[in-house]
Amino acid sequence: MTIVIDELEAILNRVLSKKRIVHVKSVVDFSRRLGEIYNVDLNRLELAALSHDMFRDVPPRKLLKMSRAYGLEISELEKAHSVLLHGKVAAEFLRRRFNVDDEEVLMAVAYHTSGHVSFKEIGKILFIADSLEFTRDFPGVDALRKIAFRSLDEGFFQVLKNKIFYAVGRDLLLIPETVELWNSILMSRGGHVDEEIE
């Protein structure tokens, strides 16, 4: 694992901007803090956190080309906004380059932006850490951090909610996996649709 981490760090130093590297290191740190609280394997967490944005600074057209070369399924939304593919490409790179077969880690990396209904602890922690790491500064971030350090599931839900509010407030597209995750969590909590809608 140490050899993989060292090689990953070398790759990140070659392909990412200095600002992005600061973010990635902060995500690793935040993930480790959560991992210690929730008793999650720190090596697996570090692998996911370190690699999640590996291809975030790759130009969109090249991401699309890499995705096709890897044989990934590409949605219409991802064709139009191929930056969304950076997590899936990173996961496939881990699988092929380092023979990573840890599906929980690969899922966490692939869907760290959108979230996913199949997330287990590593996916939830990475999703939270990506939004709340300590270089992030937005209204309500401290309150969200407190929730995340108190309850993994509630922190995950509140970060998801915040992302959706942010997107809707700015007329941004919602990623289908995000909507599916939102509905899945609400249904598990006994949520329902507005039956007044005609």
Residue 30 φ then ψ, to 5°:
-65, -40
Tokens for 148, please give them: 């995340």
What residue type is 135 in one-letter code? T
The helix-helix angle for 121-132 and 152-169 (nearest 10°) equals 50
What pTM value is reported for the model?
A: 0.95
For the chain, the distance separating the N- and C-terminal CA atoms, rounded to the nearest angstrom, is 56
| Number of Cβ within a 10 Å radius of residue 165 | 11
pLDDT tens over the chain, length 198 residues:
778 888 999 999 999 999 999 999 999 999 999 999 999 999 999 999 999 999 999 999 999 999 999 999 999 999 999 999 999 999 999 999 999 999 999 999 999 999 999 999 999 999 999 999 999 999 999 999 999 999 999 999 999 999 999 999 999 999 999 999 999 999 998 877 776 555
Give the pLDDT score at 2. Answer: 75
Residue 159 three-state SS:
helix
Pick left, alpha or beta for residue 187 (phi over 0 → left; psi -120 to 50 → alpha; otherwise beta): alpha
Tokens 């990934």, located at residue: 72
